[in-house]
Amino acid sequence: MTASESEPGELPVRYADIERARERLDDDSVVKETPVERSTSLEEVVGGEVYLKMEHLQWTGSFKTRGAYNKISQDVENGVTDFVAASAGNHAQGVALAATRCGADSTIYMPRNAPQAKIEATRGYGAAVELVGNDFQETMTAAQAAVEDSDAAFVHAYDDMDIIAGQGTLGTEMYHDCPNVDTVIVPIGGGGLISGISTAIKHLSPETKVIGVQATGAETVHRSLDKGIPVTLDQVDTIADGIATGGISETTLSIIQRNVDRVVTVSDTEIARAILMLMERAKQVVEGAGAASVAALLSDDLDVAGETVMPLLCGGNLDMTQLRTVLIHALIDRQQLLRLRIRIDDRPGVLEEISGIIADFGANIHDVRHDRSVDNLDVGEAYLVFNVETSGAEHAVAIVEAIEGADYTVENIAKTI
């Protein structure tokens, strides 16, 4: 269902709510106006004007402080002094910073597999951290249970009008950054971000298209739109932990139905490609959720030729261990890293011969493994497994063809995400 197909009626968050949130956030020590940069590299690929909204440069490394501060500052004025939240990382940091700036305490429940960098950053912003559950839904259940017998207020990551209004200030900012924008592309986890942004964009520029993006392994919006009710996944599987909520809410679904023109999905491989391209061409380090918008832009599902388009880089909290994994997979996808398994007669001189062929093409051999104990090998045979660095697909093909031309059977056993 698109915006034009949804039923009329009053939405739970109005543009006036976003304007009041902007007034509360008028302090650049809490939320700063993040820059926009034109990307000629992406323009060459998609055939339109591309402006990257660089919200990953926000305090805490994501947009989450906007909504968290909008809610918490009001609650503190009403006497609340303790806050609890559940988060995979970015909402955690936003709540921690907002509560600390407002003189309140915060306890954040995070999944046990949350990136260590996000855990430490959350503590650094002043929150106590409890590691509970193996996924976001388990963590959410534990956090909500902790609030039941306390005076603390629960700060939901997306199912809250004040949170949505705070995130909507980013939509107002994006419009003023580029009033002639034809399309904005926004990642979707629980839907709070796109609900706020789309409310602002559709008020200020109704003709501007709002495109949502979900990771394939955490996709819930299409199913929810089809059924007319929020659908929750039992488990999620994506490198984009910032949008791996596994569900949206009735509130965010109602706004998506009205304001979002289209939702597309992207694979982890596409997200990894986008992360690497942003590093190489835009010189920006962006996490999986933040790169999802660029992954959608580069996918075959979107055609923005001739348009002015603004992908939102919503977060930059990429754990360094995850960065290594993502880069390896992205390089494998480009065939800049090969794992070549070559069947040989196990005799002296073969390793030197094959190494020489690879060296003749100017490729770099990282390491070699010699396997003899494999079931499908005949007596006197072995496998050589080379990890090889190339300059790209054409280079890789030439190397493989040369080894095959020397009468060896070659298989590239490297796997992408």
For residue 294, give the nearest of 45, 126, 103 by alpha carbon: 45
Tokens read off for 154 = 């629960």
Is the pLDDT confidence value at 322 over 90?
no
DSSP 126: T
pLDDT on residue 4 = 36
- Residues 281 and 313 both lie in one domain: yes
CA atoms within 13 A on the CB side of 118: 32
- Residues 9 and 114 both lie in one domain: no
pLDDT on residue 289 = 96
For residue 51, the domain's CATH number is 3.40.50.1100
For residue 385, the domain's CATH number is 3.30.70.260
What average pLDDT does this structure show over 68-91?
95
Q: How many domains does the chain have?
A: 3
pLDDT on residue 349 = 95
- Residues 175 and 311 both lie in one domain: yes
| Residues above pLDDT 70, as percent of the chain | 97
Supply the DSSP string of 83-145, one letter for each residue: EEEE-SSHHHHHHHHHHHHTT-EEEEEE-TTS-HHHHHHHHHTT-EEEE--SSHHHHHHHHHH
DSSP 229: S
Asked, for residue 417, whether it belongs to a domain, the answer is no
Last-in-domain residue among 154, 184, 219: 154
- Residues 149 and 168 both lie in one domain: no
pLDDT tens digits along 233-254: 988 999 998 898 889 999 999 9
Query: Could you tell me the pTM of the whole model?
Result: 0.90
- Residues 99 and 147 both lie in one domain: yes
In which element (H, E) is residue 241 found?
A: none
The residue written with tokens 């193996």 in the block is 134
**Residue 84 Ramachandran class (φ > 0 left, ψ -120 to 50 alpha, else beta):** beta
Confidence at 117, pLDDT banded by 50, 70, 90:
confident
pLDDT tens digits along 17-36: 999 999 999 988 899 999 99
- Residues 217 and 287 both lie in one domain: yes
pLDDT on residue 8 = 53
Taken in order 82, 86, 91, 93, the sign of the CA dihedral is positive
Tokens read off for 232 = 């929750």
- Residues 311 and 367 both lie in one domain: no
Asked, for residue 159, whether it belongs to a domain, the answer is no
Asked, for residue 404, whether it belongs to a domain, the answer is yes
Is the pLDDT confidence value at 2 over 50?
no
Supply the DSSP string of 288-344, one letter for each residue: HHHHHHHHHHHSTT---TTSEEEEB--B----HHHHHHHHHHHHHHTTSEEEEEEEE
pLDDT on residue 9 = 65
Asked, for residue 130, whether it belongs to a domain, the answer is yes
- Residues 272 and 249 both lie in one domain: yes
Residues 130, 119 contacting (CB under 8 angstroms) = no
Average pLDDT of the residues of the chain: 93
The Cβ of residue 116 has, within 10 Å, a number of other Cβ atoms equal to: 13
Is the pLDDT confidence value at 107 over 60?
yes
Asked, for residue 283, whether it belongs to a domain, the answer is yes
Residues 100, 132 contacting (CB under 8 angstroms) = no
Residues 106, 96 contacting (CB under 8 angstroms) = yes
Supply the DSSP string of 355-397, one letter for each residue: HHHHHHTT-EEEEEEEE---TTPPTTEEEEEEEEE-SSHHHHH
- Domain hosting 123: range is 64-154
- Residues 128 and 276 both lie in one domain: no
